[in-house]
Amino acid sequence: MISKDIKSLSFTKIKEEINKISIVDLYKNEDSAKIIDWLKNDKRKNVLALANKVQRELDSYSNEVKRVKAMYDFDKSFGNHKYVAGVDEVGRGPLAGPIVACSVILDLNVLDKDLILYINDSKKVKESKREELSKIIKEKALSYHIAVSSNEEIDEKGIAFSNNKVFLESCNSLTIKPDLVLSDGYLVKNIQIENKSVIKGDTKSACIAAASIVAKVYRDNLMKEYAKKYSHYDFENNVGYGTSKHIEALKRYGKCEIHRNSFLTKLL
């Protein structure tokens, strides 16, 4: 264990001991400042470089805790509500596939150690991290529900109807009825629960950000499965959006069963 007798240890041993301590544990450790001070008071350049590296990682982690705590606090700022749900959708704009929404209720009164860190607008989170976070959110959420509207329904009833339908269905299907629903960008029509819309809510609200991530992971994985059946359109990479490769395939092979006919009128 690192101690004030650090100068008697070789750099290799110091690094070995530091590597045994995760940044999370260091953040929680009341003696973390002492450990870094001991490193910084060493005259060896490699030890000082290690001290600076550990300090940067600790600062980064601390800033992330503050950022996410502010998102949880945002959700609590609307009044004395026991259960707050966040709802968001993915897939409003693609040429193919469904639109998907998710509603999530988080425990907003957790201690710092139980915050779900790195939640954000799903588009700002790397794919591998989204997959990891989606599992964590599902495990820690008090309740969540995913709702889907198919490309056929989008063609028949319009994207605005389908967007509201999945918002409404995901909120009404939660196993816990929320006292407040925070929706990203739009108010939910015909909802019988208090509802507030939040512009860019997936960057401000913990519950909306969590919903955004779960919805995107679900839809992206669905589109990857479709890619196995409809291999021409590069769905595994574009998840249905109108990339140049996707549009070239449409012009060459025509549409497939999951394309939104109402979105293709100016392309085909």
CA 163 to chain centre: 19
Provide φ and ψ at 259, rounded to 5°: -75, 150
Structure tokens that stand for 124 in this block = 């700002």
Give which of 89, 87, 99 is closest to 223, Cα–Cα.
Answer: 99
How far is Cα 97 from Cα 105, in angstroms, rounded to an integer? 26
59 is in an annotated binding site: no
> Three-state SS for 255?
coil
How far is Cα 170 from Cα 144, in angstroms, rounded to an integer? 8
Checking 250-257 for CB contacts under 8 A at 24+ apart, the result is 250/95, 256/96, 256/230, 256/232, 257/230
139 is in an annotated binding site: no
How far is Cα 98 from Cα 223, in angstroms, rounded to an integer? 9
Provide φ and ψ at 260, rounded to 5°: -90, 105
89 is in an annotated binding site: yes
Binding residues for a divalent metal cation: 88-89, 184
Binding residues: 88-89, 184
